[in-house]
Structure 1
Amino acid sequence: MTLPEGVAAPESLLLPGVLDAAQAAATVRSILAEQRPDGGIPWFTGGHLDPWDHTEAAMALDSAGEHTAAERAYRWLAEQQNPDGSWFAGYYGEGADGVSNRAVESNFCAYVAVGCWHHFLATGDAAFLDRMWPVVRRALDFTVGLQLPGGAIAWRLDEDGAPAREALLTGSSSILHALRCGLAIAEHRQDPQPDWELAAGRLQHAIAEHPERFLDKARYSMDWYYPVLGGALTGEAAERRLDADWDTFVVPGLGARCVSDRPWVTGGESAELALALWAVGRREDAVRILRGLGRLRHQDGSYWTGYVFEDDAIWPEERTTWTAGALLLAVAALGGDPATTAVFAAGKLPGGLAVPGCC
């Protein structure tokens, strides 16, 4: 891999025991090196691209001050958006012929709102927000159209276009975050979106009060921390949730398991857990989680996806842009980066419309 030169990390990406200036710059360069000429950011060179992880990597570039590269990533989303506001679940290569998975996942589609609001807060570029507003509006309108009677969001359309009748807690929690970022954009533009407000209120209620409305994926750590990361649970409710399964998922000194019944810690989940911990004020816990990820770091600044600790083995043998991106965003939040803190602090985003007796 040939890494771009001339990258200097901002102070907010420096965290003792996690990243120094040279390490942070190398990690940023590792993402830049994977970005394709068309702006797409695959998991790794020649690998799969999905819109959710692509956006997370773009947000990390903005947190590092690489705004031109991040804008190219959002331009890729604008160019690839389907007429109904969606994106496909998987892409290889460039252009329409590069689609590898023609299913549509709802949280993949909604996340553009999080990225665009983050980019605007990082740059102050109102013209960018003007250009991307139609893209965000179509994406969130599409996503809201998949809301189920109980408030959750159907998790996908199959390749034949048939919608699922089930919802995933992780995906719906991410969609709630996206709706709130979309409402922040709408508020900034003085363009109210009452349908989004209602959808967000119903969705928040479902996540917080009705776990039975989601498929049982409790063995996955993302289902544990995403209601906190997405802002559905705050304060004491968030603390209780994190405490309840802490010992199930957290491996001291290593990070967070991907699933509860496997001896496998993963960098992306660990970094996102650190973000959730930061959001509820548990800074020291967040830093400890991130420090455990040092064994996943490659000499070029990229990060391996995971580590099987019973076998002392890296697995899979791939270094993913979204793992590096999640770590950079967690460090940026801990470092006080204004855009990142505004996007991931639930109290800084508009809430949905509370509906008495909802659902």
Structure 2
Amino acid sequence: MTSPGRTEHLVLPGVLTAAQATETVAGIRAVQREDGAIPWFRGHHLDPWDHTEAAMALDAAGEHDAAARAYEWLARHQLPDGSWYAAYHDGDAGQPTDRSRESNFCAYIAVGVWHHYLATGDDMFLDRMWPTVYAAVEFVLRLQQPGGQIGWKREPVEAGDNAVPDALLTGNASVFHALSCALAIAEEREEPQPDWELATGALGHAIRSHPERFLDKSHYSMDWYYPVLGGAVTGAQAKERIEERWDEFVVTGLGVRCVLPNPWVTGGESCELALALWAMGESDRALEILQSIQHLRADGGMYWTGYVFEDKAVWPEELTSWTAGSLLLAVAALGGDEATTAVFGGERLPRGLEPECCQA
């Protein structure tokens, strides 16, 4: 059920009218399965991170029952070690198609659960989901390396169940955000987690100060803006980071490139950059980015994943739930939705304890 008045946060000049917002929310609802799973689109796979992002968009629209069903799907499908598989088939959403378990995919439930709680104030939901969040965080932190960074994933059991120690900056920035939300949940429950605080502090320090601890993926725009979006990099350091590569990644009037040097702008990356800009206090630039990608809007209210501007062609020809979800979340932040602004507010979340060696 949609809460009265919730769509007012999803109306933004040049981006969404009230009718368009309603249409986009309905588009995501149409993708969601009866069991709560939200695949990329019907007939494609589900992954835990994008499933959660779509659920958060539903909460931003006041569709709290639908969002709760998405989190309950995750709780039912959590593996004994606290993880989830990287992908599940839409035709049978309980069957995995990729049995690796990625750290950022598994951590992100903490962001969604905290967002849902802030949107609803539902203490019983938080009580039900706490064991799921706790187990997921513990799985992720077992992949933390001595330098603070989090290893990418665990390989499938049939491949030896080996941990992959290589760390991805984007994934780690997402994990930092998730750990911050997990700490907020722990504080709300009055169940302090000092080990999580230390782990989060060490991870944040690695992101801010030790780029050599991560694989070089600097040609991807996500590695550029995600440390800001995830809250590890804030203030003057955030502004400097964004300005440094703005002209490389932002295509005026079209959106944000996914990867250099490809002439391909994508809706998800554009909306995430808008969220990062909002978190930095640059709402005007965030609005411009969101306005620039309305060429990706399709009939029915969903959004194409990307656009190859040299060919003037939509590619791939996919209307993904997570692209629409990222747009709704960015609009909700700019519109002042309290739960969304709290979750993506950067410095408003716990940031862990800085390692003693690095404290001023």
Q: Fold match, TM over 0.5?
A: yes
Looking at structure 2, the residues matched to 95 and 105 of structure 1 have their Cα atoms a distance apart, in angstroms, of 21
How far did residue 268 of structure 1 move?
0.3
Letter of the aligned partner of 1:235 in structure 2? Answer: G
Deviations 1:298-352 (A, max 9, x none): 1100000000000000000000000000000000000000000000001211120
How far did residue 358 of structure 1 move?
5.0
Deviations 1:239-294 (A, max 9, x none): 00000000000000011000021000000000000000000011111000000111
Deviations 1:72-109 (A, max 9, x none): 00000000100000000000036675210001100000
Looking at structure 1, the residues matched to 212 and 81 of structure 2 have their Cα atoms a distance apart, in angstroms, of 30
Deviations 1:219-250 (A, max 9, x none): 00000000000011100000000000000000
- Is 1:299 the counterpart of 2:296? The answer is no
Looking at structure 2, the residues matched to 5 and 352 of structure 1 have their Cα atoms a distance apart, in angstroms, of 35
- Is 1:231 the counterpart of 2:231? The answer is yes
Change (3 A) 1:358 1:156: farther
Which residue does 1:32 correspond to in 2? 29
Which residue does 2:126 correspond to in 1? 129
> How many residues are aligned here?
356
Which residue does 1:145 correspond to in 2? 142
Coordinate RMSD, CA, aligned: 1.6
Which residue does 1:155 correspond to in 2? 152
Which residue does 1:173 correspond to in 2? 173
Contact 1:153 1:167 in 2 (8 A): yes
Change (3 A) 1:64 1:357: same
Looking at structure 2, the residues matched to 96 and 69 of structure 1 have their Cα atoms a distance apart, in angstroms, of 16
Deviations 1:110-150 (A, max 9, x none): 00000000000000000000000000000001101100111
Which residue does 1:213 correspond to in 2? 213
Which residue does 2:242 correspond to in 1? 242
- Once superposed, which parts of structure 1, at least 4 consecutive aligned residues long, lie more than 6 Å away? 4-8
Change (3 A) 1:51 1:23: same
Looking at structure 2, the residues matched to 127 and 114 of structure 1 have their Cα atoms a distance apart, in angstroms, of 17
Which residue does 1:43 correspond to in 2? 40
Looking at structure 2, the residues matched to 8 and 42 of structure 1 have their Cα atoms a distance apart, in angstroms, of 28
Change (3 A) 1:97 1:324: closer
Q: Unaligned 5+ residue runs, structure 1? A: none
Looking at structure 1, the residues matched to 93 and 169 of structure 2 have their Cα atoms a distance apart, in angstroms, of 30
Which residue does 2:340 correspond to in 1? 340
Change (3 A) 1:96 1:319: closer
| SS of equivalent residue, structure 2 residue 307 | strand
* Percent identical residues: 63
The structure 2 residue matched to 1:104, chosen from 69, 82, 101, is: 101
Looking at structure 2, the residues matched to 314 and 7 of structure 1 have their Cα atoms a distance apart, in angstroms, of 36
- More displaced stretch, 8-17 vs 216-225: 8-17
Which residue does 2:322 correspond to in 1? 322
- Is 1:87 the counterpart of 2:90? The answer is no
Which residue does 1:195 correspond to in 2? 195
Contact 1:62 1:119 in 2 (8 A): yes
- Is 1:67 the counterpart of 2:64? The answer is yes
Letter of the aligned partner of 2:233 in structure 1? Answer: L
| SS of equivalent residue, structure 1 residue 217 | coil
Query: TM-score, structure 2 length as denominator?
Result: 0.96
Looking at structure 2, the residues matched to 69 and 177 of structure 1 have their Cα atoms a distance apart, in angstroms, of 24
Looking at structure 2, the residues matched to 346 and 296 of structure 1 have their Cα atoms a distance apart, in angstroms, of 28
| SS of equivalent residue, structure 2 residue 97 | strand
Letter of the aligned partner of 2:212 in structure 1? Answer: E
Looking at structure 1, the residues matched to 164 and 308 of structure 2 have their Cα atoms a distance apart, in angstroms, of 33
- More displaced stretch, 302-311 vs 343-352: 343-352
Looking at structure 1, the residues matched to 234 and 251 of structure 2 have their Cα atoms a distance apart, in angstroms, of 24
Looking at structure 2, the residues matched to 292 and 192 of structure 1 have their Cα atoms a distance apart, in angstroms, of 43
Query: TM-score, structure 1 length as denominator?
Result: 0.97
Contact 2:204 2:351 in 1 (8 A): no
